[in-house]
Structures are given as C-alpha cells and as structure tokens.
Chain A
C-alpha cells in the first residue's frame, strides 16, 4: 500500500468503528422494525415465519381507543411540560441574570434533578405524592388545608409537576447562557436611552434570545416525547390509561400483550411525529443561519 492510498483511507478508518456500531445497533434495528410493522409478529416466532399483513397493524391502531387515548395523553403531557418549563425557565433566567453571590451554587445544584436516574426521581416523587404519608399532603394537613389524592385523582398533573421539577433547570441554564452572550452594546445603548427593565426585556433581550430559545424549546419537546421511566415508577401509566404515554404503551404492547407487530407500528407513528419536529428544527436553524449571514452582509455593506 503506498502513501497515497493510506491517505485516502484514513478518514474511513476514523469513521469506521462508529459507523459500524450505529449501522448494526441503530439503523438495522430501525429497518427491522419497519419491516416487522407490516407483519403479524409475536415474539415466539422468528420474524421470517410471520405472515405479511400490509398496513393492518397501522389501521387497527387508528381505530383503537386505547392508542388514541395514549396519543392524546402524550401530546398533552409534552406540550404542557414544555410550555410551563419555558415560561418558568426563561422567566427565572431573566430575573436572575445578575451578579449575585450564590448564583454559581444555584447553577450547580440546579443540574442535580437532570443528572439523577429517572427511576429514582419517580421513586422520590411517588413518596412525596403519597396520599397519607407523602410530603405534600403532610404539609397541606399541617397548614389546615384538605389533602389531595395526587396520583389517584390528578395523575397527569402529578406527572407534569415532577417533570417540571426535573427539566425547568435545563431551560434556565440554556437561557441564562444565551442572555450572558448577548451583545453588551445593544443593552448599554438601551440603558442610555432610558429604557425601563421591562422594555429592555421585551424589545431587546427576548428578540435577541429568540433563536436559541426556539432551538432549546424544540430540543426539550423532542426529549419530552422520550420520557418514560419517571412515569413508569410514579403511576405505571394509570390509573386506567390516564398517564399511559406512547412510550409506555409501546413497552406494554410488546412485553405484556406480546404484539410485536402492533408495537412496531406504534413506534413508527411516534417516530414520524418526532421526525416532523426534528425537520422543523433543522429548517429553522438553516433559515436562521441564512438570515444571520444576510444581515451581516448588509451591515458590512453599510459600514
């Protein structure tokens, strides 16, 4: 092998291990699942022995009330947590963007909820929501208010509260980083012109942060569709189907009902939904980059 060949092969040698693993354990399985979703597939058979049934799995799901319910629960859960977390996270970042001692402590400790295992988060919150000895009801009792049956009567709300606790810090940290990288000149100019704090937020800070905020929101939204373990430990999807998000429904269909074909079709519906969100994010960043380039170009021409 001469020097020339070595050079041409080098990039492939660097990429090969990662590409191989991803093909073997991501792309091949996804293809396998798409293929399996067109079959009457249960775990006792080898997939090649199963019967091809076309779109039957998909159409059966569309009229399945349990699937519809869990689809709506997923959407309600994801959009609610993301909106609440955006408002709280961005609000706190705007409020706390200043030099206070203790700020770095907050930033450090704020990461904690995201780092801890979701199953442990579920465990603690299940204890705190417990009807008789849970932290919340003990507190309500102590101040003389009626107790709430959190997981029994308000399961979706409880699950949302736990997720907001865990993930608001994510939005907070990213918005704070965005805020601190804003051009000082714009803010100083506004201050000199006598803009009030509120005017600065609405007319300068928020518009300038918008690109980062939208990407952050989309990232969080995609992640909200992945949530599973916290809900599994907190409510197990119940009572009834009230908190059975799609991810949980897929797991149950595959493992309890042993309907792999149907679970595969369900996974594909979820995948399609996420694909749309991801493409939206791509399109947005591309558009944003193009716009930034155009603006810089005009600025240079004028200057």
Chain B
C-alpha cells in the first residue's frame, strides 16, 4: 500500500493539508470576522459570514487617538491608543537591549575563556525554565520597595520627568521597570540561541580583522554581527513576541499610565457588551505577530529548531 502512495502524491494528503491549514488559522479568522461585526450580529443565532462589515469596533477601541469623533462613541473608556503606545515602547526598547546585551554575552561565552564562564553559561541555561509566575511575588515586592528612589532627590525627579510613573519613584509603574524584567527574562534564551550561530562564524575572519589592527569591540560589531544576522532576526522576533504579548508581570507592575494592551484585554474581557470591541482590540494586538509569521517564518523556524535541538 505504502510504496505507491509514496511515489504518487495521494489527494488525501492535500485534503489533510487543507484541513490542518484551516484549523490553524480558523480561530484567527473568527477573531477577524467578529471584530468586524456589531455585537448583535455576534450573539444572534444567524451568525456566519452574512453580515455587513463595520469598522465601528475599531473606532471604539481607538477612540483616544482618532483624529475624528465617531458618532457611536459616547465615552472613550477603552483607551486602546495609550496602551498601544506603551506596548510599543516597552516591546521595542526591551528587544533592543536584550539583543545588544545578549549578543555580547553570547560572543564572550563562545570565543573567550575566562573565570566564571562555565557557571555563567550553566546559570543561563538553568534560568530558562523559570516561569513568569514565579517571578511575580519577588518582582512585585522589590520593584515597589527596594528598587525605589526618594522623590525629593534630583535623580528621582529626573527619572519621573523622563519616564513617568507615580509620585514616589519606584521601578514599579514605570516603563523602565517593566523593560528591566523583560530584558532579564529574555536574555537566557537569546544568549543560548545566538551561541549556536556565533560558533559557526569562522575564526579566521576574526583573526584577519585582528591582524589588520581591529580591537575586540570592532571585531565584534563589524565582523561578527553582520554574519549572524539570521540568528539576530530570530532572537529579535522571539524577544519582541514575549515583550509584546506578556500579561502577568506587566499587570503587577503597570499603573494606569503605563498599562499595556494585554492588560487592557484581560481587564475588559469579561464585559459582555463590548464583545466586538474587545475582539477588535485583540485583532490589533495580533497584527504584529501575524506580520512576523507571514514575512519571517523561516527565521522563526530556524530559531525554534536551534533553541531546541541543542537542548
């Protein structure tokens, strides 16, 4: 039975393929369709694809940054726009910092022998398993108490003016507080993935650059970095994804002004009447990951396999 089907591709495989594709994007399509429906259409029995698409939900969600006032919005309660900007700042800054610090550390771990190298590499591996929930308690305690600067000091005032936050300047409630924990959380994974890419950079290239008089930092930035671009792309996508999607720690640290989109979704998810609006918000949050998937799936798969196969 098997040998013939191996040669000729059985139509059943195409059918299976189609079913799988449908299953993996089905829920996303449902999200998209519902975000374009009025609440009445979502909950009414009729359902299906027979409805008038509307962008009302998106207008409601984005009411605080729209340049016009939609008629149907009486109170601008959801304030998606502000949360969206917080999410972007936090995700971009933490991705950039994680990549810079992570690449440098990975390079040192691969290329240099130095005191503490093994323990560092081992601890990077070990902390990969720490769940965010375990960090919740200490982060909540520390960011609100130990990591605070008195608000009468010069430094404290400066930080508050630049980053925002509450009266007494604690890391909790600021963008930097959330960024700090995201960078720390993502570093182990990024270091791990990039190591496997840096190992493949031929040493001779680096030595040639060194003979030409380049210092270690020049070698790193001008020779090594350009060669590990695929690894950097994968690492960047993974870091961005976690920083963009994370809910738990952000919800413990953020206040009203630094709230991110996932927090907004969880806070409003149980409200029955805003079903369409919350779907629209979810769709907006899902757009960057969808774009990554469509345009960088190869890098994502490379990163995933590099992260696992070397276990």
Contact = CB atoms under 8 A, between A and B. Distances in A.
A and B, one complex?
A: yes
A15 B187 CA distance: 12
Contacts of B301: 107, 111, 173, 177
A32 B142 contact: yes
Contacts of A138: 45, 47
A82 interface: no
- Which of A22, A27, A29, A169 has the most chain B CB atoms closer than 10 A to its own CB? A29
Nearest to B147: A24
B289 A216 contact: no
A90 interface: no
A165 B133 CA distance: 23
A100 B15 CA distance: 12
Contacts of B201: none
B142 A28 contact: yes
Contacts of B24: 106, 109-110, 112-113, 165, 169
Contact of B133 (A14, A121, A215, A247): A247
B289 A109 contact: no
Interface stretch (B52-60, B77-85, B124-132): B124-132
A260 interface: yes
A123 B31 contact: yes
Nearest to A250: B133
Nearest to B29: A124
Interface string A241-273: 000001110110011000010011001001100
B105 A26 contact: no
Nearest to B106: A18
Contact of A19 (B105, B278, B292): B105
Given A36-B137, A178-B309, A267-B137, A24 B31 contact: no
Interface string A114-149: 011111111111111000110100100000000000
Which residue, of B25, B27, B279, has the highest number of chain A Cβ atoms within 10 A? B27
B145 to A, nearest CB: 6
Contacts of B2: 196-198
Contacts of B25: 109, 112
Interface stretch (B66-74, B157-165, B225-233, B245-253): B245-253
A32 B290 CA distance: 38
A17 B3 CA distance: 57
Interface residues of A, number: 102
Given A138-B47, A174-B304, A254-B136, A46 B145 contact: yes
Nearest to A284: B311
Highest count of chain A CB atoms <10 Å: which of B100, B127, B134, B278: B134
Nearest to B144: A43
B197 interface: no
B286 A117 contact: yes
A80 interface: no
Given A17-B104, A116-B290, A222-B128, 10 more contacts: A29-B142, A107-B301, A108-B297, A177-B309, A233-B265, A233-B269, A247-B131, A254-B140, A267-B137, A281-B311
Interface of B: 1-3, 6, 9, 13-14, 16-17, 20-21, 23-25, 27-28, 30-31, 34, 42-45, 47, 97, 100-102, 104-105, 107-109, 112-114, 117, 120, 123-142, 144-146, 180-181, 183-185, 187-188, 191, 216, 220, 241, 244-245, 247-248, 252, 262, 265-266, 269, 275, 278-279, 282-283, 285-286, 289-290, 292-294, 297, 300-301, 304-305, 308-309, 311
Nearest 3 pairs of A and B residues by beta carbon? A197-B2, A25-B184, A247-B133
